[in-house]
Structure 1
Amino acid sequence: MTPKIRELLGLRGIGAASRRAARKLDFIGIGAQKTGTTTLHQLLALHPQIEMYRRKELHWFEKDDRFGPDHRPLSGDYDDLHRHFYFDRQITGEITPVYIYWRHAVERIQAYNPDIRIFVLLRSPVRRAYSQWGHYVRKSRRPKFRNLHIGPFQKRLRREMKAMGRNPDYQNVRRSHIGRSLYAEQIRRVKALFPPEQLLFVKSEEFFADQLGVTDQVCRFLGVAPLSEFARPAPIHDNVGVVPPIGLEDWNAAYQYLSADIDAVERELGWDCSDWRQPPASAVGENPEKARRI
């Protein structure tokens, strides 16, 4: 029996077509990449009142060839989006971290459902950039991605900054270590489209320190009971030890491009981001007096 037949015969498949026609996604996590969104997806998927996209990262709203200039699908409907969901729980949603970075993705989400709730995880931009680089270094070692050439971290940063200097509209999913870490403009774009009560910005460092507590915060924001009322899962540790700690030179190289944006994030969100200005122990241990600080 094929998975499709099992779905059609299963209880979740009964009435799914009519629900897909009548409902829309209630929430989307839109970013940022390498900030803990995979772990948050896994935790929200444990919640009996929440339906999550089964694989995380649907990547539906950043496909430019799918949309017209009015930010609506050229097909005229959202059937291709809704077919990925049963809509059989209290709320339904997904997490695709590139949405906050990819120009027009958030506009398309707003055109789809102006009442949707949006949450965003934001991590130290320097660490986020380095973690993204490490992600693609690991990926390039797989036979499937042998043509994915990833150079040294600082060289990648310099190339990206040159590309951004030549083209103010530069975007690239893989070559975006700095671009994806420039949060302030992305935050302003989201805030311009949605009212404050539909937005939740969370510091990744707080999520890493208290996964269940922050997940409960997200659940309350989404209008469902805290996950802790149903389950108390052990902390999830993804990618532990797979990326070498960032060194001082790499930290300084990224920080010089991102320090002003950290100031802007503090103004936009009212956060204290002093921890984002502190090099990690792996970098400070090399030569503390050479670490860039504000």
Structure 2
Amino acid sequence: MYSFKYFSLKRHVSNYKSVSRRFAALLGFSFNGHTYMRLHKPNMVPTKRLPDALIIGVKKCGTRALLEFLRLHPDVRAAGSEVHFFDKFYHKGFEWYRDKMPPTLEGQITMEKTPSYWVTRSAPRRVYAMNPSVKLLVVVRDPVTRAISDYTQSASKRPSLPRFEDLALVNSTVNWGGVWSIVDSSWPPVRLGIYTRPLRRWLRRFPRSRILFISGERLVVDPAFEMARVQDFLGLKLVITRKTLLLQLNKGLPLSSQVGKSAHATLLRQN
């Protein structure tokens, strides 16, 4: 025990600060003037966090394959299913959304995929409210191929669905006579392929540098190239390469998407 009555006021203050610093160091604090500040330490306990990156679209372009490939990276953790927070469940609040995320360590990236965000009018504003610095991934492919894939999926569930051409085209009489078929841009599978409409909404909220467009076609013919672009965009170490993709796929990585299966076939042919 110190008997402070034997010290001058100056020595008293100096001794107090010295002892305080030693105790603060033991407790993980730093002493700065009259303020204690908690020292920043890496969080080694997995914690549920809001997403750092989102796969926001586009439907039937390869979003599932992209997520399946990203799961191979040790610093990526993704929600198990499409959460639909920004289009259907926004009223439940951010704590509800956070609870749907997987636990991550500090330094890992939390991700979520819901392709319908791309065309949801309120989604850009809502995503921005969550995090203005979030990174957005958008997979696109040839609009005709995308529309056919979309239709094929619907037709597999509804055999009575009219033919693709009967839905995608409408007859129009032109001035010089005759009946011509034109594309019906109001039909959802066609409308989804008009990428400029939703893009304008997203660019009103986010700079172009925050959005990465991924080629659905190249994800099939050269998945390693596209995944290198994705990892660079997300600030990740280059872990997912042609070698690691082939290794994991040969080990039996479950691929639920046609794009992913096609990419695997491409890698096998190139091997």
- Give the TM-score normalised by structure 1: 0.59
**Could you report, residue by residue, the CA deviation over 1:71-117 in whole angstroms, capped at 9, with x for unpaired residues?**
xx434x31221112233141101121111112212222112211100
Aligned residue for 1:124? 142
What does residue range 225-244 of structure 1 map to in structure 2 within 5 Å?
225-228=237-240, 232-234=244-246, 238-239=257-258
AA matched with 1:60 = F
AA matched with 2:227 = T
The correspondence for 1:58, drawn from 83, 95, 103, is 83
The correspondence for 1:113, drawn from 121, 131, 141, is 131
Matched, 1:25 2:37: no
**Equivalent pair of 1:217/1:226 in contact (CA under 8 Å):** no
Length, aligned pairs only: 195
**Equivalent pair of 1:116/1:198 in contact (CA under 8 Å):** yes
Q: Distance in 2 between matches of 1:59 and 1:84?
A: 11
Q: Which has the higher strand share?
A: 2
Q: Structure 1, unaligned stretches of length 5 or more?
A: 1-13, 67-72, 142-148, 165-174, 241-294
AA matched with 1:128 = R
Q: Structure 2, unaligned stretches of length 5 or more?
A: 1-43, 171-182, 250-254, 260-271
Aligned residue for 1:212? 224
What does residue range 1-294 of structure 1 map to in structure 2 within 5 Å?
19-20=47-48, 23-55=49-81, 57-63=82-88, 66=89, 73-75=90-92, 77-89=93-105, 90-140=108-158, 150-158=161-169, 164=186, 176-228=188-240, 232-234=244-246, 238-239=257-258
The structural deviation recorded for 1:15 is 5.4
Secondary structure at 2:145 match in 1: helix
Runs of 4 or more consecutive aligned structure 1 residues displaced over 6 Å after TM superposition: none
Question: Which of structures 1 and 2 has the bigger CA Rg?
Answer: 2
Question: What's the % identity of the aligned pairs?
Answer: 27
Q: Distance in 2 between matches of 1:230 and 1:26?
A: 25
- Give the TM-score normalised by structure 2: 0.64
Secondary structure at 1:233 match in 2: helix
AA matched with 1:51 = R
The structural deviation recorded for 1:48 is 0.6
Aligned residues: CA RMSD: 2.7
